[in-house]
Amino acid sequence: MLQQLYRPDLGLLTDLYELTMSHAYRENGMEQDEAIFYLYFRKLPAGWNYAIAAGTDLVAEYLENWRFSAEDVAYLGSLKTAEGHPLFTESFLNYLQRLRFTGRVDVLPEGELVFPNQPILRIQAPLIEAQIIESALLNLVNFSTLIATKAARIVQAAGDGSVLEFGLRRAQGIDGSITASRSAYIGGCSGTSNVLAGRLLGIPVKGTHAHSWVMSFDTEPEAFERYAKAMPENALFLVDTYDSIQGIKHAIAVGKKLRQKGYRMLGIRLDSGDLAKLSKTARKMLDEAGFPEAVIVASNQLDEDLIARLRKEKAPIAVWGVGTQLVTGQPAAAIGGVYKMAAIRKKGEDWQARIKLSENPEKISHPGQLQIRRFYENDIPIGDLLYDQLHGPSQTQAFGQKWDEGRDLLQPLLINGKRVQPPKKLSDIRAFSMRERQRFLQKWNGKTYPAKEEKGFAERKNKLIQRLSVQQNHAGKNGVQTKTNESAIMTN
Amino acid sequence: MLQQLYRPDLGLLTDLYELTMSHAYRENGMEQDEAIFYLYFRKLPAGWNYAIAAGTDLVAEYLENWRFSAEDVAYLGSLKTAEGHPLFTESFLNYLQRLRFTGRVDVLPEGELVFPNQPILRIQAPLIEAQIIESALLNLVNFSTLIATKAARIVQAAGDGSVLEFGLRRAQGIDGSITASRSAYIGGCSGTSNVLAGRLLGIPVKGTHAHSWVMSFDTEPEAFERYAKAMPENALFLVDTYDSIQGIKHAIAVGKKLRQKGYRMLGIRLDSGDLAKLSKTARKMLDEAGFPEAVIVASNQLDEDLIARLRKEKAPIAVWGVGTQLVTGQPAAAIGGVYKMAAIRKKGEDWQARIKLSENPEKISHPGQLQIRRFYENDIPIGDLLYDQLHGPSQTQAFGQKWDEGRDLLQPLLINGKRVQPPKKLSDIRAFSMRERQRFLQKWNGKTYPAKEEKGFAERKNKLIQRLSVQQNHAGKNGVQTKTNESAIMTN
């Protein structure tokens, strides 16, 4: 999708500090150091008890095509320090222009359930490559995961009804709309109004007419008749331009004429007012007029809470058109995904685990080569353990099962910078995600899923935190580098 | 920017119903009807008392390059009705492939202050063109206006401090980040971390290093020294990887070494903890160590409220790095911009005003060829009147001034589909916007600005609403089209 959509090379889609750091890594002879980073979020918006991992296929596409064009490098060459000298050396600029992604990426399958503190992506790559790609990977995964999850929640609330994504006009930018359409489809939406997303991604597109159609004619009956004449097989009438009840009557009148000509009215759309009351009245009017098969579509600032309430009130709405709240992920608008270094390997040495401390325990990162093991009972997930593959598990059992009965979730996506999984069809990702979500909800709807740390991993992590705190205090007192005896580095 | 960024033609960046309506307009012989639409928002997020209009230059670029490629048309040709027949006729598809935007667009200057119910854009064009472009125009203007306004609020809160936009990693998609950088700069930010936005738009880029730099070394003092060695003219240290106070000490130690070598430490960045307390301690430590010119940068989930609170607590923070809240416009995430038909002109006839009714008075649209007249006192805006250019004003005075002393805000951007204003430099848009905002805030900070309707316009609008309500009831009772005597159409 990115290659179809974007014209420039996207290497510069990064924060400047990734490049200044990379420049400095290289100046310090660390060009061949390797690092493990992982991408995860620390918590979910209030009331959300799962997320749907998404955007990883975009990451594969991004990394396979990751490069800096001559224009990019010329631009970087024009940047100056505060003193007016070039910010980057010629040598670094030449290096950048040759740079390609050569690392390994392990990911959750797109559409999989994921929980706080679990890696959606794990990168193992030369330090500089892993560093520069940080910003783009966060951008791609954060937004897609937010919208896929929001869509899943809305689709869940809609039950047997179907959900259409109508968000183009309120999305955050052009790509904001297209990536939202993609993610919403993964999360279970049935289609989109966005024609470009339909063309680029193969998502079913839906739509009939707006208020402006009705306003283009002197009266609503004329407007409906003219629409039906022009598009007799796509006749679904928006009835609230002036008055919804009158609009339903006008739709029924035109529906009868359509039927005489051998066509069928598909339904009506309600876009304002009391949707519970209006949909019940509309259903009754349509049924009594002989249109039991005509569907009622509803739109107007819908979200999962409003849909759940309307369904509780038995509103006979078959199709939900959801826009703003879906494509912007409100009220969250962003999943706070982060990308943290978990280990580093100097040339010729062993891996050293790394951790980011914080006064806020929630913000302490996780060290090692992380993997998630998920345990199932009759295909229903019953619990996860986060562990370090450099050490393996110390637990032999978990959630009443043997360790080997669980499944590792992170799977290789790129090795040596090349895809080892072909891109999946979006409709297959969607089907996989909906199946996993339905199984999960059988047991965990509204409950907290046990996504925990493996015992040995948790112990090593706590020891590392303690040692590192001691070391930092010592370094602080002396104002110098501390090493050797008090090293806080957990080697493999 | 769009032409540099996006590869495909963007005609398909529309909701499907725009195309089904256009197909039906054409089938009904309305190809040569003209329409006036305008784009506005009905209200602002709670507590916001102005907005900054933005995105209009993107609209000009979009419309000048608006077309449907052969691939687009082939895709549309593949779409089917519910009965499995082609959704569009060959004739319509051929028509689309030849279609270009030929209309006129009047806009507020980008960066201008705008208030609820005021047109940011007014389109006068063949009905079909004006219809199809709706979705894209809303997308472009809604998001840019949201972020420019959010940025203006944050910059306002920061007072003498400067604000950097750090949002790439949490933005809604790739373009979400770039358009956010553009809009944030218009709203008054001083720079961005986003290097691609810097290259494409000429926005100053900023950045030094992240936690991962520090974690790449055994200790923080080593990390700072190595960074300073590699980039001695870009030395601003992030001090909170392990412990902020220790980090400040380590930064000062390295700052002294830099000074011995003839360089200067630019400052430090705080990214966690109690920013008021830490910044005061940091300031004291830096001053006592002989670094009064070293700046303190703060980041960590900042927004205008938090910045205002920190400034009230006298936190000596000179630079504010703002990410998520800025680039996603939280807590709003979308300005509810709409695009409504205000008049229609059948071939060879006069303009007929159009209005969208609603049970919710706020959702009733405005009829006519709208214009905003703003009145000033010593260059400070004192009030606005919305009026209909097809009728002209009935008021000769407003806000204690003669009508002619006010200025019309909407100015032509495209005529016959071609730009009549050259693109402005982004830095000029920013300077204009900051100047207008500062003048406005002298008088209206925290107050409601009088953005009202001109008297004659309001009277005609109310009459139209009454007549249209009567007509709709009548049409409803008879179930047929109503015309002539009871016509609710306000002709010019």
Out of A234, A356, A359, the one facing B211 most closely (by C-beta) is A356
> How much is the pLDDT for A332?
87
Out of A75, A169, A468, the one facing B242 most closely (by C-beta) is A468
Cis ω before A331 (30° cut-off from 0): yes
Least confident of A22-31, A470-479, B130-139: A470-479
> How much is the pLDDT for B484?
28
Which value, to the nearest 10 degrees, does the dihedral of the CA atoms of residues A384, A388, A394, A398 take?
10
Out of A20, A336, A473, the one facing B209 most closely (by C-beta) is A20
pLDDT of A490 > 50? The answer is no
Residue in A with minimal Cα distance to B335: A170
The pLDDT > 90 percentage for chain B reads 89
Cα distances (angstroms) measured from residue A111 to each of A53, A424, A438, B167: 5, 11, 12, 25
B477 pLDDT band, cuts 50/70/90, is very low
Two tokens, residue A164: 């259409």
Q: How many CA atoms lie within 13 A of B17 on its CB side?
A: 22
Least confident of A339-348, B184-193, B462-471: B462-471
Strands A418-419 and A121-126: unpaired
Residue of B1, B10, B17 to mutate, interface with A, max A Cβ within 10 Å: B17
Strands B113-114 and A418-419: unpaired
CB of A357 closer than 8 Å to CB of A394: no
Judge: A480–B221 Cβ closer than 8 Å, yes or no: yes
> How much is the pLDDT for B471?
72
Q: Which residues, in sequence order, are CB contacts of B327 under 8 Å at separation 6+?
A: B147, B165, B167, B168, B170, B171, B172, B176, B177, B180, B181, B184
Cα distances (angstroms) measured from residue A104 to each of A112, A413, A416: 20, 8, 6
Q: What is the mean pLDDT of chain B?
A: 93
Longest dimension (CA), chain B: 92
Least confident of A363-367, A484-488, B159-163: A484-488
| A382: number of Cβ within 10 Å | 18
Strands B319-322 and B162-165: parallel
CB of B109 closer than 8 Å to CB of B121: no
Residue of B16, B36, B164 to mutate, interface with A, max A Cβ within 10 Å: B16
Judge: A28–B171 Cβ closer than 8 Å, yes or no: no
Q: Which H helix or E strand runs over B38? A: strand B34-41
Cα B138 → chain centroid? 10
pLDDT of B359 > 60? The answer is yes
The side-by-side arrangement of strands in the sheet containing A370-377 is A407-408, A370-377, A380-388, A451-453
Two tokens, residue A153: 């929640």
| B459: number of Cβ within 10 Å | 12
pLDDT of A278 > 80? The answer is yes
Q: How far is A185 from chain B (nearest CA, A)?
A: 16
Judge: A482–B180 Cβ closer than 8 Å, yes or no: no
Judge: A195–B242 Cβ closer than 8 Å, yes or no: no
A chain contacts of residue B328, beta-carbon cutoff 8 Å:
172, 328, 333-334
Judge: A17–B176 Cβ closer than 8 Å, yes or no: no
Strands B113-114 and B51-52: antiparallel
Out of A7, A249, A273, the one facing B359 most closely (by C-beta) is A273
Residues in chain A: 492
If DSSP codes are grouped into helix, strand and coil, which group holds residue B205? Answer: strand
> How much is the pLDDT for B210?
96
* ipTM over cut 0.90: yes
> How much is the pLDDT for B361?
82
Residue of A41, A216, A257 to mutate, interface with B, max B Cβ within 10 Å: A216
pLDDT of A478 > 70? The answer is no
Judge: A219–B72 Cβ closer than 8 Å, yes or no: no
* Three-state secondary structure string covering chain A: CHHHHECCCCCCCCEHHHHHHHHHHHHCCCCCCEEEEEEEECCCCCCCCCEECCCHHHHHHHHHCCCCCHHHHHHHHHCECCCCCECCCHHHHHHHHHCCCCCEEEECCCCCEECCCCCCEEEEEEHHHHHHCHHHHHHHHHHHHHHHHHHHHHHHHHCCCEEEECCHHHCCCHHHHHHHHHHHHHCCCCEECEHHHHHHHCCCECCCCCHHHHHCCCCHHHHHHHHHHHCCCCCEEECCCCCHHHHHHHHHHHHHHHHHCCCCCCEEEECCCCHHHHHHHHHHHHHHCCCCCCEEEECCCCCHHHHHHHHHCCCCCCEEEECHHHHCCCCCCCCCEEEEEEEEECCCCCEEECCCCCCCHHHCCCCCCEEEEEEEECCEEEEEEEEECCCCCCCCEECCEEHHHCEECCEEEEECCEECCCCCCHHHHHHHHHHHHHHHHHHHCCCCCCEEECHHHHHHHHHHHHHHHHHHHHHHHHCCCCCHHHCCCCEC
Return phi, psi of residue B59, to 5°: -60, -45
> How much is the pLDDT for B475?
55
* DSSP code, position B163: E
Q: How far is A399 from chain B (nearest CA, A)?
A: 35
Out of B174, B227, B355, the one facing A13 most closely (by C-beta) is B174
Q: Which H helix or E strand runs over B146? A: helix B134-158
CA angle B149, B150, B151 (to 5 degrees): 90
Q: What is the mean pLDDT of chain A?
A: 93
Judge: B222–A481 Cβ closer than 8 Å, yes or no: yes
> How much is the pLDDT for A195?
98
Strands A162-165 and A191-192: parallel
Out of B35, B142, B199, the one facing A72 most closely (by C-beta) is B199
B491 pLDDT band, cuts 50/70/90, is very low
Two tokens, residue A406: 């669980």
CB of A110 closer than 8 Å to CB of A149: no
> How much is the pLDDT for A470?
77
Q: Give the A:B interface size as CB pairs under 8 Å.
A: 439
Q: In terms of pLDDT, which residue wins out, A112 or A218?
A: A112
> How much is the pLDDT for B333?
87
Residue of A149, A169, A293, A346 to mutate, interface with B, max B Cβ within 10 Å: A169
Judge: A219–B481 Cβ closer than 8 Å, yes or no: yes
A chain contacts of residue B30, beta-carbon cutoff 8 Å:
216
pLDDT of B118 > 60? The answer is yes
B chain contacts of residue A212, beta-carbon cutoff 8 Å:
21, 35, 37, 131, 134, 340-341
Q: Where in chain A is the domain with CATH 3.20.20.70?
A: 148-327
B chain contacts of residue A328, beta-carbon cutoff 8 Å:
172, 328, 333-334
Judge: B142–A19 Cβ closer than 8 Å, yes or no: no
| B426: number of Cβ within 10 Å | 18
Out of A30, A168, A226, the one facing B15 most closely (by C-beta) is A168
Out of A6, A172, A205, the one facing B143 most closely (by C-beta) is A172
| Residue (of A139, A183, A147, A489) closest to A339 by Cα position | A139
Read off the amino acid at residue B430: R
pLDDT of B136 > 70? The answer is yes
Two tokens, residue A8: 């420039």
pLDDT of A485 > 90? The answer is no
Query: Residue B453 and residue A275: Cα distance in Å, rounded?
Result: 31
Place of tokens 């290259």: B199
Out of B24, B168, B481, the one facing A15 most closely (by C-beta) is B168
> How much is the pLDDT for A476?
46
Judge: A195–B359 Cβ closer than 8 Å, yes or no: no
Query: Residue B403 and residue A198: Cα distance in Å, rounded?
Result: 50
Q: Which H helix or E strand runs over B403? A: none
pLDDT in tens, B400-434: 999 999 999 999 999 999 999 999 999 999 999 99
Residue in B with minimal Cα distance to A131: B212
Q: What is the CATH number of domain B36-64+112-125+340-492?
A: 3.20.140.10
Strands B451-453 and B380-388: parallel
CA angle B470, B474, B476 (to 5 degrees): 120
Transcribe B110-121 into DSSP letters. TT-EE-TT--SE
Residue in A with minimal Cα distance to B271: A358
Judge: A218–B487 Cβ closer than 8 Å, yes or no: yes
| B467: number of Cβ within 10 Å | 15
B chain contacts of residue A173, beta-carbon cutoff 8 Å:
139, 143, 172-173, 175-176, 178-180
> How much is the pLDDT for A480?
33
Mean pLDDT over residues B380-399, rounded?
96
A chain contacts of residue B476, beta-carbon cutoff 8 Å:
243, 245-246, 249-250
Judge: B479–A241 Cβ closer than 8 Å, yes or no: no
Out of B81, B139, B333, the one facing A177 most closely (by C-beta) is B139
Q: Which residues of B229-268 are buried (b: 16+ CB within 10 A; e: fewer)?
A: bbbbbbbbbbbbbbbbebbbbbbbbbbeebeeeebbbbbb
Judge: B75–A199 Cβ closer than 8 Å, yes or no: yes
Read off the amino acid at residue B107: V
Return phi, psi of residue B89, to 5°: -80, 155
B chain contacts of residue A355, beta-carbon cutoff 8 Å:
215
CATH architecture of A148-327: Alpha-Beta Barrel (3.20)
| A403: number of Cβ within 10 Å | 17
Residue in B with minimal Cα distance to A30: B216
A317 Rama sector, left if φ>0, alpha if ψ -120 to 50, beta otherwise: beta
pLDDT in tens, A163-185: 999 999 999 999 999 999 999 99
Mean pLDDT over residues B240-249, rounded?
94
The pLDDT > 70 percentage for chain A reads 96
Out of B30, B139, B196, the one facing A171 most closely (by C-beta) is B139
If DSSP codes are grouped into helix, strand and coil, which group holds residue B450? Answer: coil
Q: How far is B10 from chain A (nearest CA, A)?
A: 8
The side-by-side arrangement of strands in the sheet containing B34-41 is B351-353, B337-345, B34-41, B121-126, B104-107, B411-415, B418-419
CB of A189 closer than 8 Å to CB of A54: no
| Residue (of B76, B174, B81) closest to B132 by Cα position | B76
Place of tokens 């998630």: A372
A chain contacts of residue B4, beta-carbon cutoff 8 Å:
7-8
Out of B4, B16, B360, the one facing A7 most closely (by C-beta) is B4
Q: How far is B225 from chain A (nearest CA, A)?
A: 10
Judge: B221–A173 Cβ closer than 8 Å, yes or no: no
Residue in A with minimal Cα distance to B23: A230
pLDDT of A262 > 80? The answer is yes
Residue in A with minimal Cα distance to B24: A230
B272 pLDDT band, cuts 50/70/90, is very high
Question: How many H helices and E strands in chain B?
Answer: 17, 21
Residue in B with minimal Cα distance to A480: B221
